[in-house]
Every structure is written in structure tokens, then in C-alpha cells.
Amino acid sequence: MSGQAPILTVTLNPALDLSTAADSVVPDLKLRCDKPVVDPGGGGINVSRAIKIIGGQSTAMVALGGATGQRMADMLKAAGLKVLRLTAPGETRQSLAVTDRATGGQYRFVMPGPEWHMTQLASTIAAIAEAALAGGWVVVSGSNPPGIAPGFEQMLTVRLKDGRARLLVDTSGDALRALAGSSIPVDVLRMDSHEAEGLAGRPLPLRSDSAEFAAGLVRNGAAKSVIVARGADGSVIAGPDGAWHAAAAPVRVVSAVGAGDSFVAGFVLAAARDWPMQEALALGAAAASAAVMTPATELCNAADVRHFYSQRIMTRL
């Protein structure tokens, strides 16, 4: 593998993910569950885990607090990840996924995480800027914690503006809306087609619709490149090198959980290796296709990523 620029992933609202199963999920009764599977979760953490699987390196900056935070720190260390620890303003949250064996349905309970204050945000932005290495990438992925107002990513962009590092943001909700309306461009902004349609206020049925919408955000100064993930129809990017589509591999979907984080891992690793934009999109699409073949808490498999990348289908739009 060729050399790669440094990658820093940022997870401000991680969660200890517990997953289990019960014969059926019904109200009022005590539900006897299987022994839970425990995983460290959160967008940036998953991106770092997937980068390691694909054969790259990154540093995971994670805000952790309390006994749950300590447990997560130990798990990340055991997983061989390089971790930079921030102090969260309270106990790290947990999330619970329960599969109902009778129906096969999965119930996902996601807790909010500790409340942040603007004073903590300033010191966090300073810490990220300090940890970001020149010529490298910073990945902000996953939901922002309670108390972090939309605009955090723009403030970070300004701090990284002196050419220290490039910023990839994969977010949703209010944070995404703030970014879409901003004129302080992040380097790469990623969203899924559901989020893109919400921002566009209309359906985007065709690849060309997604590409046109993404190109509009680039023109308006929201980002230098915009990626729209179209699920089974692959991903579209619009940026300085025009618009491209990368096909998704035709695989049987076991679980879509972790596909987005695996995509970001493949894309940012290729970008850190200085690959062209369309090849970075292809490696991201290969990692996402590999991720949907594995059960919920597993990410992608390296051999699958290599295979799908070797079979990549790129189309200029």
C-alpha cells in the first residue's frame, strides 16, 4: 500500500452498543434476553474501525465520561485503535438493540448522551485543530451531542482553514441543514438520499437528480464536494472533477447498519492516499457493499472490499 496522509476521526457522542434478542417483544412482561453483544459505537469510532480493517491508519478522538466511558476506552484499546481521549461532560451513553425472534424485527433504543455547553465546545474545537495534522483529513461523523448547536462544523472549518487539514462531514438533522445553508465550505459533505430529498424538498429518483442537487450545494458554497448515498443504487459525488456515480455491488443485504461508516472509511482512506475523487468514491462504495453483507455490529471484510473494488463500475454523469 502506498503512503497515506494522517486521518483523525471525531466522535463527540459515542455509545456503548448492547445488542440482544428475545423470543418476542411485548409490553408489561419481563422479557428474557440472550447474553448481550457489546460494541463501542459512534460514527467516528466505526470509521476508524473500518479504516483499520481495510489496511489504513487513523487516530480516533473520542469524548468519554464515567464508568461506561472507561469501559469503552478499554475496548477501543483492545481493538488496536489509536485513541485521543476528550473528557465528556457526563457518563457516556448506552444504546440497546433487541431483535424479536418471532417477527425478525429489530427494536433500537438510542439514549441522548450527556448535555454539552458552549464553553466545552470552544476547547473541543481547539483540541481537534491541535490534533489535526498538516495535509491530513478530519472526519466528523455521527450525531452531535445535546447542547452542541448547529454550526459546530463551520466553526471547525474556520479553525482548519489555515491549510492544516481537510474536513469530511457525515451528519444529519439540524447540523446537516446548517451546513447545506452555509457559505463556509467543508471539503466533503456526505448524506443519504432520504436526507438529500428532505433538503431539496422534492424526490430525487434518478442518479442525475442526486448529482444535480449535489452540484447545486457545491455551487452555493456548502462544500467543495458533495456525496449523496443512494443505497442499493450506489453513490454519487459532485465536485471539482465533475459528477460521478459508483455502483453498489449486487449483494444480499444482511444489515445496512455500518454501511455509511464503512463508505466514509473507504472514501477518506483513498483520499488520504491521494487517489482521484472517482476512485475514492469507488473504494467507499466497495466498503459499503462489503458492510451490508455482515451482521449489524460488524463492519466490512477486507477481502470483500478488495474484490468489489476490483469489479468497480464508475460512470461520469
Q: Give the catalytic positions in this structure.
A: 261
271-292 CB burial, b ≥16 within 10 A, e <16:
bbbebebbbbbbbbbbbbbbbb
Question: Which amino acid does the sequence have at 218?
Answer: V
d(CA 286, CA 207): 18
- Write out 200-229 in H/E/C secondary structure: HCCCCCCHHHHHHHHHHHHHCCCEEEEEEE
d(CA 133, CA 64): 22
**Main-chain phi, psi angles of 128, to 5 degrees:** -65, -45
d(CA 221, CA 239): 11
